[in-house]
Structure 1
Amino acid sequence: MMKKRWVTIVLVALITGLGFTSYSQANNYPTKPIEIVVPYTAGSSMDVMARVIADEATKYLGQPMFVTNKAGASGIIAGADIINSKADGYKTVVLTNAFFGTTVKTQKMPYDPGDIVPIGNCMQYKMGLFVRSDSPYKTLNDLLEYGKKNPGKLAWGHHGRGISPTMTAMLIFKKAGVQTVEIPHKGSAESVASLLGGQVVASTSNYGPFKPHVESGKLRILVVYSDQRFSDLPDVPTGPELGFPDVGKMSVLIGLYAHKNTPKDAIKVLQDVLKKVCESEEYKKAIKKLGEEPRYGSADLIKKAILDSEEVGVPLLKEIGLYVPQK
């Protein structure tokens, strides 16, 4: 009887010990460096953000974080790297909600984007509609009224039909009932030059390339494409404030993602560290210097943003002939 009891005690101790060991091992993560894959070249806004995160996160993780650039196909190549790698928490990727909401709807995908899940949000791209400061358009309504009174004369520039700033401008003009003339450019530098030179009345873009000219007083930003005002542009209204609620759903959020099969304990560690990093003054200062908006948010914020982007963006893609049905 005593022998049986002793055996039982030993077995219980072993089982408990094994359970404790397994739990401890799981919570030893990370035990080696963690990679952040960036879908754009070194020096891009997304790349700089990732490097700031990597530097700051290393302080909390006890292991280095490092950045690898895998540019091409608007993020699809970087996403494929995550899909084809071991889902162990040692490889993450920086992507936008727009990648999932619209980009993957413009071509046949070699993998299921749903296999990549958000960890947390880190930043928001500033986007808006710009005019020259010496123009008579002090507000968005001024510009739209001109367009209504002069059908087919409001020429506006963009640098890509399927990108978020362009689709958001299309959304505004369509709802306002304004007939416009699109002037495509090869890049943001050409868009800036065209607006400054008077070849177009307005231009839609990310804020970064236009920022120096806004700050110097040469250009004016009429509206920001966001669901909330930006910290360094407090006097510029958002689309929803001006009667265009769907503009807020086209906000572009940049976050950290991982393979959906990544262990939950690893995801939890990364979420906790990301929150600390993104809420630190060092991080916020670096992102503001970059010209973008620091914006931490949970995975739920990103999931909602993806659905919003898809809801508004897909009909626009279909209208302009860029939508590609999946399976």
Structure 2
Amino acid sequence: MVTKHTIKYAALGLAMLGATTGASASDADNFPSKPIQFLVAAGAGGGTDNFARVVRPMFEEAMGGARITVVNLPAASGALAHQRTATSAADGHTLDFASTTLVTSLAAGQNPVGLDQLTPVARMQSDVMALFVNPERFPDFESFVKYAEENPGKVTVGGTHTASPDHVTFLSLRDASGLDMNFIPYDSTGNATANVLGGNIDATTTSLSPLLSYIEAGQMMPILVFSDERLEDYPDVPTTVENNWDLTDGNDRAIFVHADTPAPILQRLEKAFKEVYDSEDYQSYAERVNLDYREGWMGSDEYRQRLENNYELYSRLLQND
């Protein structure tokens, strides 16, 4: 029987083998020397998948016509994609496209592949998280807080599955605010939203982009955004920072490689993705899907530090849940 621990130890052993057979720094001059794989740690049609497929032709051009295939590996919250990247040759030809779920599932003990086996190339998206309600019930954040204070333990906030970005966003808010609230997991953002609209739960924590059509229809409204500054499209909605809560993490989408990838290859990959990010085509795409509320780019070193900090925070929050 294959257990989680079996997979973990197998992954670790293969990762060591991959490190011994990986590319040397001198191979960077000939990179890429074979087709590149984009392993998507999510199913087809979702945000991470769309991100990888939009980036693909732009990245091919930036890399001088490199051949790229996209493979979806959604199993176990994307852990299979992380394992395959960690056990591949450390030569930069296997790229892991992942969301914040990589670090939240790691903090929850659901993902056996850590930041010692993978390293970020870059972050390119950071979808703003928010607390959403039916505006007919809660016109603003103050009314929500008042209700929560008057009804301790009775407020329910929904979101996608346990240890998801939605869940850790809720835990972060509960921890910072001290409000006595409970989280209800659903299998999709759509189901969580439907239960808010149906009055079965009081609110949902999720990113802005999936709920834009509901916002435009007046059915849902963000009453608190996890951001440093108020968003131009929602000037009346307060931020976490305004409440003296240092909570600004979004649902990120980033690219990872084997941790032992030679520095010259990692740097070349980072440079190519920055070229893609700065292109008119990519910025038009980001604007079209409302991923331009804040700066998405974060280079390898800066993003690694952010991930390590988030891992510590999420581990504490999930352990205390």
Tell me if both proteins adopt one fold, taking TM over 0.5 as the criterion: yes
Q: CA deviation at 1:136?
A: 3.8
CA distance in 1 between counterparts of 2:311 and 2:25 reads 39
Contact 1:71–1:77 (CA<8 Å) still a contact in 2?
Answer: yes
CA distance in 1 between counterparts of 2:312 and 2:209 reads 27
Contact 2:106–2:112 (CA<8 Å) still a contact in 1?
Answer: no
Cα distance per residue 1:167-194 (max 9 Å; x no partner): 2223323433322344433321111111
1:281/1:182 Cα in 2 relative to 1: closer, same or farther (>3 Å)? same
User: Which amino acid in 2 is paired with 1:202?
Assistant: A
Q: What residue in structure 2 maps to residue 274 of structure 1?
A: 273
1:261/1:184 Cα in 2 relative to 1: closer, same or farther (>3 Å)? closer
Contact 1:251–1:305 (CA<8 Å) still a contact in 2?
Answer: no
User: Which amino acid in 2 is paired with 1:51?
Assistant: R
Structure 1 portions without partners, runs of 5+: 1-21, 321-327
Q: Secondary structure at 2:206's aligned position in 1?
A: strand
Cα distance per residue 1:101-154 (max 9 Å; x no partner): x3113236545541211111111133211111222432x232112211232343
Q: What residue in structure 2 maps to residue 94 of structure 1?
A: 97
CA distance in 2 between counterparts of 1:304 and 1:229 reads 25
- Is residue 254 from structure 1 mapped to residue 256 from structure 2 by the alignment? no
Q: CA deviation at 1:231?
A: 6.4
Q: CA deviation at 1:264?
A: 2.3
Percent of aligned positions that are identical: 26
CA distance in 1 between counterparts of 2:187 and 2:110 reads 24
Question: What is the TM-score when the length of structure 1 is the normalising length?
Answer: 0.81
CA distance in 2 between counterparts of 1:134 and 1:269 reads 51
Alignment counterpart, residue 45 of structure 1, candidates 35, 47, 51: 47
Q: What residue in structure 1 maps to residue 71 of structure 2?
A: 68
- Note the 1:88-167 alignment, pairs <5 A: 88-97=91-100, 99-100=102-103, 102-107=104-109, 110-138=112-140, 140-167=141-168
Contact 2:167–2:183 (CA<8 Å) still a contact in 1?
Answer: no
Q: Secondary structure at 1:37's aligned position in 2?
A: strand
1:227/1:305 Cα in 2 relative to 1: closer, same or farther (>3 Å)? farther
Q: Secondary structure at 1:198's aligned position in 2?
A: coil
Contact 2:129–2:205 (CA<8 Å) still a contact in 1?
Answer: yes
CA distance in 1 between counterparts of 2:220 and 2:110 reads 39
Q: What residue in structure 2 maps to residue 292 of structure 1?
A: 291
CA distance in 2 between counterparts of 1:25 and 1:213 reads 50
Cα distance per residue 1:22-48 (max 9 Å; x no partner): 998642322333211101111110011
1:234/1:30 Cα in 2 relative to 1: closer, same or farther (>3 Å)? farther
Contact 1:121–1:301 (CA<8 Å) still a contact in 2?
Answer: no
User: Which amino acid in 1 is paired with 2:310?
Assistant: S
Q: CA deviation at 1:50?
A: 0.9
- Which 10-residue stretch deviates more, 44-53 or 200-209? 200-209
1:137/1:153 Cα in 2 relative to 1: closer, same or farther (>3 Å)? farther
Structure 2 portions without partners, runs of 5+: 1-23
Q: CA RMSD in A?
A: 2.5
CA distance in 2 between counterparts of 1:274 and 1:178 reads 41
User: Which amino acid in 1 is paired with 2:134?
Assistant: R
Q: How many residues align?
A: 295
